[in-house]
Structure 1
Amino acid sequence: MDNFKIGEEVYVIYRNPHAVNVANIEKAEIVEHPTNQKELAIFLHDAYHPLAEDDAVFSSFEEAEELYNQLFDYQQFD
C-alpha cells in the first residue's frame, strides 16, 4: 500500500453492500485517514474507507477492468 500517495485518483472494485452479487469499478481518491494521520484511506461515495492490503485498488481503469473480468467471468467487448 506504500505505492499510493495522498491525492491520487485510483480505481477500485467495489461490491454493493446491499446486493452481494453486484460489483462495479469505481473511481476514488487516496486521502489521509480522517482519524489516524499515519494511515491512508480511500474516499469513495462520500465516505472514508481504511486502505487495506486486500483492497482491489488500481492506478488505472484498465488494470481494474482486467481483474474484474477475471473475477466475474465477463467477456470484454470491442
Structure 2
Amino acid sequence: PGTIADINYIDKEGEPHQINGAVLPWSIEIITTAPSMTGNILAQTRNADGLGCRITANDEKKDERYTNEVSAYVYCFVKSA
C-alpha cells in the first residue's frame, strides 16, 4: 500500500473532521460563497518519513509546509482565504 496518514481539517462551516488511515496523496475541495474562511489541515504519517500540506484559494497558494521527520507531522493554516 501507499503512504498512510491521519488527517484533521476544518470544513466550510468551521466544523472539525478526522480521517484515520487516509491513503496519500489526499485532497479535499471546499466550495463556499462566504467572503472568507479559515483553512486548517493537520496530518501525521504512519509509515513514511516525509509529509507535506498545501492550502490554495482561487488557484493561489496560501500556505505550504513539508517535513522529513520520522512519523512526520505537519500542519497548514490560513486565517482568511
TM-score using structure 1 length: 0.27
The structure in which a higher percent of residues are helix is: 1
